[in-house]
Amino acid sequence: MDRTERFYKMEQLLRAQKVVTRRQFMDEIGVSLATFKRDLEYMRERLHAPIAFNSERGGYELLEVGGDGPRFVLPGLWFNPSEIQALLTMDALLGDMQPGLLAPHVEPLRARLEMLLEKGDVQPAEVRRRVRMLPLGARRQPPGVFETIAAATLKRRKLSLRYQARSTGEATERVVSPQRLVHYRDNWYVDGWCHLRNGLRKFSVDAVIGAEMLDEKAKAVDMNAVEREFNSGYGVFAGEAVQWACLRFNPQRARWVALETWHPEQRGRMASDGSFVLEVPYADTRELLMDILKFGADVEVLGPESLRQVVANEVRRMAAVHGGRTAADAGRT
């Protein structure tokens, strides 16, 4: 048990038992008398813990202190019970979203949070049982790749990546200066400067076959430039040549879409007939097309005409695939 954990254990004993003897402290924490005395002095002098010895009751107690004096806080954690519950809830969500991603790193913090949470009426195990997130579109990642990319991003080091393009299956060797990690629609991406292409590129982490952190410092790129490159368009597709899509959803869909965020800079308004008109910027039609098509005939593209034609062409392609089959044909497959 390290020093900080001993502080938490001492406070827990004092609040639970009200009066704690020196021997109880030493037995529960597993320290010598000299270590106990040093810890007690540190808590009193440095952390302003109002711990006093009650000679009548033969033990130490935690006094109630009011006024404007120094506040007693334990090092490293300044959370009330609600905040601790929120943190453990986020931990449970991360566990479902990316199993094993943070577990080795947050385990010491989780242990301390759980110890504090046990003072309340919520059990940590119950939090993990009752909170779940379903990553429906998550793609599997090679072991160790994410950790390497995350470390290089935070340490500002270059990466050597072996990257396999999904569209062609071609694998290329890249040296990349990572700028930021992005979690989008249950998958991880890294925005970085590609030294092979000499420009900013977005890499899907699940398409990285192998990753190695290099000793060289990463190229410094103005984050405003990164924002302009990747945040202006719709979804993960980059580009500064932005157009605005104007979509009208019928009244049945309007009630849901009006509450959704498609893009941080979107514009929306309810029409007099109960439909909802949504405007979003885009630089590439691919992802926007998928989101439009999932609404079927409940959405109409009002503009621009080029996007309207892209959607119409895709609908015709779908009709050609599905329209010629009869119910009997479907039953024979």
Q: Is residue 135 part of a domain?
A: no
pLDDT single digits (tens) 197-206: 999 999 999 9
Residue type, 279: E
Is 153 in the same domain as 226? yes
Cβ atoms 60, 18 nearer than 8 A: no
pLDDT at 54: 93
Is 204 in the same domain as 276? no
Cβ atoms 149, 201 nearer than 8 A: no
Cβ contacts of 151 within 8 Å, gap of 6 or more: 157, 213
Q: Is residue 328 part of a domain?
A: no
Give the pLDDT band of residue 66 (cuts 50, 70, 90): low
Choose one of 205, 230, 255: the last residue of a domain.
230
CA distances 274 to 249, 252, 254, 270, Å, are: 9, 8, 7, 6
pLDDT single digits (tens) 120-146: 556 767 766 776 666 677 777 778 888
How many helices (H) and strands (E) are present in the chain, helices listed first?
12, 12
Q: Is residue 137 part of a domain?
A: no
Phi, psi of 103 (to 5 degrees): -50, -50
Q: Is residue 67 part of a domain?
A: no
Cβ atoms 282, 234 nearer than 8 A: yes
Q: Is residue 92 part of a domain?
A: yes
Is 45 in the same domain as 103? no
Report residue 248 as tokens: 């009208």
The helix (run of H) or strand (run of E) holding residue 54 is strand 51-54
* Mean pLDDT, residues 245-258 taken together: 96
Structural domain count, the chain: 4
pLDDT single digits (tens) 155-190: 999 999 999 887 788 899 999 999 999 888 878 899
pLDDT at 68: 58
- What is the C-alpha separation between 103 and 124, in angstroms, rounded? 15
pLDDT at 319: 92
**Beta strands, E only, 165-290:** 171-184, 187-194, 199-204, 208-217, 243-249, 267-270, 276-282
* Domain limits for position 92: 81-130
